[in-house]
């Protein structure tokens, strides 16, 4: 599910709030994604006042990448990390307040350049830079894996895979790195997935991995739950635990029809033994310790034999027919 929208009392977001919506959608989005959240008049006004830009047909973004190019040239550096990701059309957890710029490892930062960017010191090879100012797609993913927190790096890696980047390109590119750096990138490569719909879901999955992997639980993005008489696709699902994690937003839950759909969906899942944990965008982004604790607590509870319903055979396996009920 997607991130919620910012609105005024009249129900429509103000012009400047359009940029906030784009931020929540990952810093870049399609016309369809943005139009589902805000009125087209506000989109036009935001383009006019420069709070968002249109780098390509049907694509909208915050101006971070364009600003980064100017600052990168001023610093004689290379736009990298999250700012490069935005340039490549990838979504990020949060648009950086300052552009990411990489300069050679042995260069001293000029006093006049301080405070212009988030500076990374790394000597880049000729193949790591495209058009003389931005890191390549593969280098961008590798840098994010090396230098960003796990949830931010996963959001970028997921988006890169959705855009068509081959995972093998990344894993082959890190063979020359040191052991610890290679291990960090490969750990992210193992769990990254093109199936995550957006950074909201990517960050929730990162928290689930941190909270539950040590407990032996794995959550599949865009997990499909199939029965003969019911089907659901959930944001994250664990078949073994019959546990669902949902990234919830106002966009899909703001009217009576949406409330009815929710009631049907969660009743159908609950009646078949599935437990659904629902998290808001604010919780996933800003209350991460709490989210991790709730996921870990629930995984432990679902692992307990007492948590298994006595009549699970009545609903049968997830992809099969209802099983026979033993005589009592």
What are the two backbone dihedrals, phi and then psi, of residue 26, each rounded to the nearest 5 degrees? Answer: 110, 10
Residue 319 lies in a domain: no
> Which domain does 306 fall in, by range?
216-314
Question: Residue 257's pLDDT is what?
Answer: 84
Region 250-260: what's the mean pLDDT?
Answer: 70
CA dist 32 and 103 (Å) reads 37
Both tokens of residue 118?
């988030």
Query: Which among 192, 301, 197 has a CA at the least distance from the CA of 248?
Result: 197
136-145 pLDDT, tens digit per residue, is 999 999 999 9
Distance CA 203, CA 117 (A): 24
- CATH at 306: 3.40.960.10
With contact defined as beta carbons under 8 Å apart, do 117 and 100 qualify? yes
172 and 253 housed in the same domain: no
Q: Which two tokens stand for residue 219?
A: 């959550």
Tens-place pLDDT, residues 50-70: 999 998 889 999 988 778 999
Q: Is the pLDDT of residue 317 over 80?
A: no
Q: Comparing 64 with 82, which gets the higher pLDDT?
A: 82
Structural domain count of the chain: 2
pLDDT above 90 for 308: no
Say if residue 164 is in the same domain as residue 274: no
- Report yes or no on 130 lying in a domain: yes
Task: Say how far apart CA 157 and CA 41 lie, in whole Å.
Answer: 33
Q: Which residues pair with 119 in a beta bridge?
A: 101
CB atoms within 10 A of CB 257: 8
- Mean pLDDT (the chain, rounded): 89
Residues 76 and 119 in one domain: yes
What is the CB neighbour count within 10 angstroms for residue 298?
A: 19
Determine the pLDDT at residue 1. 54
> In this predicted model, what pLDDT tens digit does every residue of 100-136 receive, in sequence order?
999 999 999 988 889 999 999 999 999 999 999 999 9
Structure tokens at 111: 């006093």
Same domain, 154 and 259: no
Distance CA 1, CA 39 (A): 19
Residue whose structure tokens are 């990517």: 202
pLDDT digits (tens, 9 = 90+) for 204-237: 999 999 999 889 999 999 999 999 999 999 999 9
How much is the pTM?
0.85
- Same domain? 117 vs 74: yes
Do the domain assignments include residue 116? yes
If you write DSSP's letter for every residue of 32-82 in order, what string do you get?
A: HHHHTTS-HHHHHHHHHHTSSEEEETTEEE-THHHHHHHHHHHTT-EE-HH
Q: Are 117 and 50 in contact (CB under 8 A)?
A: no
Co-location of 171 and 85 in the same domain: yes
Check if the beta carbon of residue 243 is closer than 8 Å to that of residue 277.
yes
Strand 230-238 relative to strand 220-227, pairing: antiparallel
Tell me the pLDDT tens digit for each residue of 156-213: 999 999 999 999 999 999 999 999 999 999 999 999 999 999 999 999 999 999 999 8
Residue 80 in domain? yes
What are the tokens at 64? 């971070």
For residues 165 and 159, give the distance between their C-alpha atoms in angstroms, rounded to a whole number: 9
Is 50 inside a domain boundary? no
- Would you say residue 45 lies in a domain? no
| 157 and 233 belong to one structural domain | no
- Domain for residue 73, yes or no? yes
């Amino acid at each position: 599910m997607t991130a919620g929208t910012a609105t005024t009392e009249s129900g429509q977001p103000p012009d400047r709030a359009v940029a906030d919506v784009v931020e929540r959608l990952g810093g870049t989005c399609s016309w369809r994604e943005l139009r589902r959240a805000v009125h087209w008049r506000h989109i036009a006004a935001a383009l006019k006042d420069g709070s968002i830009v249109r780098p390509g047909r049907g694509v909208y973004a915050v101006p971070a990448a364009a600003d980064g190019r100017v600052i990168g040239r001023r610093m004689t550096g290379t736009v990298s990390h999250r700012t490069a990701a935005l340039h490549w059309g990838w979504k990020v957890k949060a648009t950086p307040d300052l552009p990411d710029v990489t300069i050679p490892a042995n260069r001293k930062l000029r006093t006049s350049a301080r405070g212009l960017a988030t500076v990374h010191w790394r000597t880049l090879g000729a193949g790591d830079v495209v058009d003389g100012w931005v890191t390549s797609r593969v280098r961008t993913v590798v840098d994010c894996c090396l230098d960003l927190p796990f949830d931010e790096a996963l959001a970028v890696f997921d988006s890169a895979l959705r855009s068509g980047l081959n995972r093998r390109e990344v894993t082959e590119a890190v063979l020359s790195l040191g052991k610890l750096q290679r291990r960090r990138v490969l750990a992210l490569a193992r769990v990254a997935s093109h199936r995550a719909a957006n950074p909201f879901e990517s960050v929730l999955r990162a928290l689930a991995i941190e909270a539950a992997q040590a407990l032996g639980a794995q959550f599949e993005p865009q997990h499909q739950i199939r029965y003969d008489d019911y089907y659901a696709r959930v944001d994250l699902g664990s078949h073994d635990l019959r546990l669902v994690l949902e990234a919830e937003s106002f966009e899909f839950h703001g009217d009576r029809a949406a409330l009815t759909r929710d009631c049907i969906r969660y009743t159908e899942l609950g009646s078949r033994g599935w437990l659904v944990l629902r998290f808001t965008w604010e919780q996933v982004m800003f209350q991460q310790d709490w989210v991790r604790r709730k996921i870990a607590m629930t995984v432990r509870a679902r692992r307990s034999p007492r948590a298994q319903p006595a009549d699970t055979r009545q609903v049968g396996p997830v992809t099969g027919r209802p099983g026979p009920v033993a005589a009592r």
